Chains A and B, each alone.
Chain A
């Protein structure tokens, strides 16, 4: 099947710094990518829908200035957690929708720990 690569898989940063997470579709083009946040033993909470060449659509309650999303090409979307704080520590997962079949493929996830 199609592959979505997410990087980094783990990141530890100091409070107040910014962290960028990349999500790449390796063997297909994705006009739409999604970013999720997942707390331990909980579901995938959709944060935003990333559309290539346009602004991301954020879910209610998600601060767009806090979680910057850029979808610069058909294979790359980035999530930047700005001025990270300990409460931002979480598992972030991206997914990409394959254009032809519509199937959703997930990245490996990125575990962010803010000290």
Chain B
């Protein structure tokens, strides 16, 4: 089955700096890679995703890059703000062949220091 690893587990950055979170996956069949943000005591919410037919996707201050050969993908947050402080989870799925269970990475706790 799929195994997703995520680094770092914790990350502190100064407001305005960039933050990068990296994930690796094991199943070469995976072709969909979402990122979720979970604020303390709240539900995870999808913030950005990328499919295997593209190498990079950007949405305002958030971007995701994918290297299928190396089986890793990264989340990039630029110009960080205190409200970016949360736990971020990556995941890898095989779509559309299998709308199967989603295995999440262990998460990265991001703290943005004002």
Contacts and interface: CB of A to CB of B under 8 A. Distances in A.
Contacts of B34: 104
Given A43-B104, A46-B102, A46-B103, A107 B43 contact: yes
Contacts of A104: 34, 46, 102
A73 to B, nearest CB: 18
Interface residues of A, number: 20
B96 A102 contact: yes
A49 interface: yes
A97 B99 contact: yes
Nearest to B96: A102
Given A107-B43, A108-B43, A109-B43, A102 B89 contact: no
B101 interface: yes
Given A32-B99, A97-B99, A102-B96, A43 B42 contact: no
B101 A49 contact: yes
A44 B89 contact: yes
Given A103-B46, A104-B34, A34 B102 contact: yes
B99 to A, nearest CB: 5
A34 B99 contact: no
12 contacts: A43-B89, A44-B89, A46-B102, A46-B104, A49-B101, A91-B41, A93-B44, A102-B99, A104-B46, A107-B43, A108-B42, A111-B41
